[in-house]
Amino acid sequence: MHRKAPIEDINEDDLKVSKPKSSAAGLEAVMVSLQRGFAQAGPSRTVRSMLRVNQRGGFDCPGCAWPESITGKRKPAEFCENGAKAIAEESTARTVTPEWFEEHPISVLEQRTEYWLGSQGRITHPMIIRAGETHYTPISWGDAFATIAEHVNATTPDRCVFYTSGRTANETAFLYQLLARSIGTNNLPDCSNMCHESSGTAMNPTIGIGKGTVSLEDFDHAELIFVVGQNPGTNHPRMLSALSEARERGARVVSINPLPEAGLMGFKDPQRASGMMGKSAPISSDFLQIKVGGDLALFQAFGHLLLQAEEQNPGTVIDQAFIDSATEGFEAYRQARSEIDWAATEEATGLSREQITEIAQLLAKSKATIICWALGLTQQPHSVPTLKEIINLLLLQGNFGKPGAGACPVRGHSNVQGDRTMGIWEKPTEALLASMDAEFGITSPRAHGYDSTETLHAFEHDEVDVFVSMGGNFALANSDTEALEAGMRRAKLTVHISTKPNRSHVVHGQTSLILPTLGRTDKDDKHPKGAQFLSVEDSMSVIHSTQGRLTPVSEHLLAEPVIVARMAQAILGDDHPVDWRSMAEDYDVIRDHIARVLPGFEDFNRRVRQKNGFVLPNPPRDTRSFATSSGRGQFTVSEFESLSAPEGHLILQTMRSHDQYNTTFYGLDDRYRGIKDGRRVILIHPDDLAETGFADRDLVDVISTFAGSERRANRFRLVSYPTARGCVAAYYPEANALVHRDLVARESNTPGFKAMMVRFVPHELQPGPTLDS
């Protein structure tokens, strides 16, 4: 079997810092994509996979959830640098074999970073480690499933947890939630809980749907586009094409961010000759460098200014006809926004009244506005009210169900939205459960299950016996790393359905299984009826097929739906009413069930085979209607709120580098921000740096404080950077140890990954103790 030497691990002393870039992509991006591909997979696998990504009949890029055009022509290379890196990661020819596990005891793996673990390659065999053992050893698939069945059947359903990461395809997700409910639990936490949960929590009660209300074509019609709390140059690079085309035809693009992200400033389109030659097109027409957590105050101020402008010029700013016919709660909103405290607003946002007023004037004039947002708005205590203010603003001007307008929460994982549609949710609706019960003859549990934060608490309190992870890396993705890892180690069984080694495999339960699976790029053809395909849903509710074509690196890998079905058969026995076996053999059978259970999926098998797939119903977008409890779009009133750091502290946000995919790192080069060969950095404004008394590049330990208790993470380097005053930034997941488990967005329970209060102390050579309450 093919193996390459492992790479060196990170040496943080190699850190290099250069000036941040002012535009994204260009020739360098293309070169980097190809280099990474060749290094991992060799030229032939790379070219074969790159030509099929995001093409009709090809596979869906595992990078992000940004949609492809369903009406227009696709470019011959419908991918970006970071999509290419994601594919190179997965289609790598490097392998992690039983011999590799023999050479690497847990005691060694524990010392390694995620960078090193992930770069070892694709796991080739099912592996197990039992209490008291030092290494993972191979196990047959049959014995692996029997081990899972034994553990699940020895405990109660409420002590079993089924986590999902958002790359999981629709068919797999549907089977997986069916398994959890057949066993008798709604413990279905997913990465969405840590990601866009706040968006759904704000949108469901106000517009009756937890999803975006725009299509890609709306970017061709918008007059004004906001990009708030999002770094598309790194995390959704294909979005830059939509933004730059909108700019070109005269739309304004306002970005709101504490960091002047390169991709928000300019874009060199690698799909065009001018971009390849280095000519950069501007992206943002306006940039508000907001303080972390200041967005609620900002959007309240916009609301105030729009209402004022309407009073001055009645009938020109707000859409009174729409408000009257389709919404509720406007009067209370109008009253709440009639006054504003400018001093508090300027303090909360770090912006001047003039800056805010200037952007409000653009809003007042615009007849079609799209507001895009991502995690800069979802991971703070007041995230849900912040997002409700955005909905208020859109309702005010009737920006739903008309061309070029709407709400655009830009999702993360390539199928995170689809997983929720398929029923991966700890708080399922009665309609879903009743429909499943009728279809399958089971009795789904009605009690709500754990979300990801509650799962963390359950681990801590020894309330989890069996933890099954469909992809993902729960130990590193969630808050309070140290407590979480300790809790995971005490679980009786952890099961990781994975492609590559990660930290969660290392901080495993007493018994632990690694079940290696096929990825997006891999051929899935070991079925009686031949090759099977899967489907996904993008950020704009388009469902389409995805099918890999590469020969898997090992003959021992099983497809995810097959793993779920065989797990179910082992746990539930042969006389269970669900036809697990036929679903695993033929994914059309799964889709036929989905078509009968989920609204919008009628005739699924035919429609998913259409050239462009199909679009799910979206009432605000399709018919300007709102499936809320009142049947109307709901204005809401929220209190003024922002983040303020205690004396001697700064506000810490965590973010992704350009060379990472969540907890996995492709490399060590955050090219656009000028950070290279190191990750343990704190980006800090030069004036704040001066106030701390430290100098650029000083080594510090970071202490976070929350509700009277402290967390500590050691050995970070301060790097002078043009971030907003009072706010610092560090990379996820290195900083997750600083996030107290109770620091969450109040209504959605999403961790407060962008809302920590921190101070710095000189780095102690002996790592200090982690302080806890």
Ligand X SMILES: Nc1nc2c(c(=O)[nH]1)N[C@H]1C(S)=C(S)[C@@H](COP(=O)(O)OP(=O)(O)OC[C@H]3O[C@@H](n4cnc5c(=O)[nH]c(N)nc54)[C@H](O)[C@@H]3O)O[C@H]1N2
* Sheet with 511-516, edge to edge strand ranges: 137-138, 127-129, 511-516, 493-498, 466-470, 160-164
Residues 7-46, interacting with ligand X (CB under 6 A)? none
Check binding of 748 to ligand X (CB under 6 A): no
Q: Tokens standing for 32?
A: 């980097």
CB of 65 to Mo ion, least distance (A): 9
Check binding of 300 to ligand X (CB under 6 A): no
Residues 190-249, interacting with Mo ion (CB under 5 A)? 195
* Binder among 261, 328, 454, 538 for ligand X (CB under 6 A): 261
CB of 475 within 8 A of CB of 485? yes
Check binding of 412 to Mo ion (CB under 5 A): yes
Window contacting ligand X (CB under 6 A); options: 97-105, 146-154, 190-198, 607-615: 190-198
SS3 assignment, position 496:
strand
Check binding of 477 to Mo ion (CB under 5 A): no
Say which entry of Mo ion, ligand X, none residue 284 contacts (CB below 5 to 8 A, set by partner kind). none
Using the CB atoms, write b or e for 98-107: b if 16+ within 10 Å. bebbeebebe
Window contacting Mo ion (CB under 5 A); options: 379-387, 409-417, 464-472, 746-754: 409-417
CB of 747 within 8 A of CB of 384? yes
Check binding of 419 to ligand X (CB under 6 A): no
* Binder among 266, 519, 548, 752 for ligand X (CB under 6 A): 519
CB of 249 to ligand X, least distance (A): 25
* Binder among 656, 673, 717, 741 for ligand X (CB under 6 A): 656
Q: In degrees, to the nearest 5, what angle opens at C-alpha 218 toward C-alphas 65 and 206? A: 75
Q: Tokens standing for 76?
A: 């011959």
Alpha-helical segments (H) within 638-725: 686-692
Check binding of 516 to ligand X (CB under 6 A): no
SS3 assignment, position 115:
helix
Residues 150-169, interacting with ligand X (CB under 6 A)? 165-167
Check binding of 64 to ligand X (CB under 6 A): yes
CB of 431 to ligand X, least distance (A): 26
Say which entry of Mo ion, ligand X, none residue 497 contacts (CB below 5 to 8 A, set by partner kind). ligand X
Check binding of 96 to ligand X (CB under 6 A): no
How far is the C-alpha of 330 from the C-alpha of 311, rounded, in Å? 15
DSSP state of 771: P
How far is the C-alpha of 84 from the C-alpha of 67, rounded, in Å? 16
For strand 266-268 and strand 24-25, is the pairing parallel, antiparallel, or unpaired? parallel
Cα R_g (the chain), whole angstroms: 25
Lookup result for tokens 């008394």: 693
CB of 535 within 8 A of CB of 169? yes
Residues 377-416, interacting with ligand X (CB under 6 A)? 412-413
Query: At residue 12, what is the residue type?
Result: E
Question: Total number of residues binding ligand X (CB under 6 A)?
Answer: 61
Q: Indicate the residue among 327 and 502 with the shorter CB distance to ligand X.
A: 502
Q: Tokens standing for 406?
A: 């709407």
Check binding of 215 to ligand X (CB under 6 A): no
Check binding of 732 to ligand X (CB under 6 A): yes
φ, ψ of residue 682 in degrees (nearest 5): -120, 115
Q: Indicate the residue among 329 and 678 with the shorter CB distance to ligand X.
A: 678
Residues 473-502, interacting with ligand X (CB under 6 A)? 473-474, 477, 497-500, 502
Window contacting Mo ion (CB under 5 A); options: 78-86, 285-293, 406-414, 531-539: 406-414
CB of 293 to ligand X, least distance (A): 5
Binding mask 563-602 for ligand X (x = CB under 6 A): ----------------------------------------
Q: Which residues touch 3 (CB under 8 Å, ≥6 apart)?
A: 94, 95, 97, 100, 121
CB of 413 to Mo ion, least distance (A): 6
Check binding of 202 to ligand X (CB under 6 A): no
Q: Indicate the residue among 122 and 632 with the shorter CB distance to ligand X.
A: 122
How far is the C-alpha of 517 from the C-alpha of 552, rounded, in Å? 9
CB of 416 to ligand X, least distance (A): 7
Q: Indicate the residue among 634 and 660 with the shorter CB distance to ligand X.
A: 660
The Cα-based distances of 279 to 34, 168, 270, 670 in angstroms read: 21, 38, 10, 21
Check binding of 662 to ligand X (CB under 6 A): yes
For 538, counting Cβ atoms within 10 Å of its Cβ (0-12 exposed, 13-18 middle, 19+ buried), the class is buried
Question: What residues does 95 pair with on adjacent strands?
Answer: 122
Say which entry of Mo ion, ligand X, none residue 466 contacts (CB below 5 to 8 A, set by partner kind). none
For 339, counting Cβ atoms within 10 Å of its Cβ (0-12 exposed, 13-18 middle, 19+ buried), the class is exposed
Query: What residue ranges bind Mo ion (CB under 5 A)?
Result: 195, 412
Residues that bind ligand X (CB under 6 A): 63-64, 82, 118, 165-167, 191, 194-195, 228-231, 234-236, 256-259, 261, 290, 292-293, 295, 374-376, 412-413, 470-474, 477, 497-500, 502, 517, 519-520, 560, 653-656, 660-664, 732-733, 735-736, 753-754
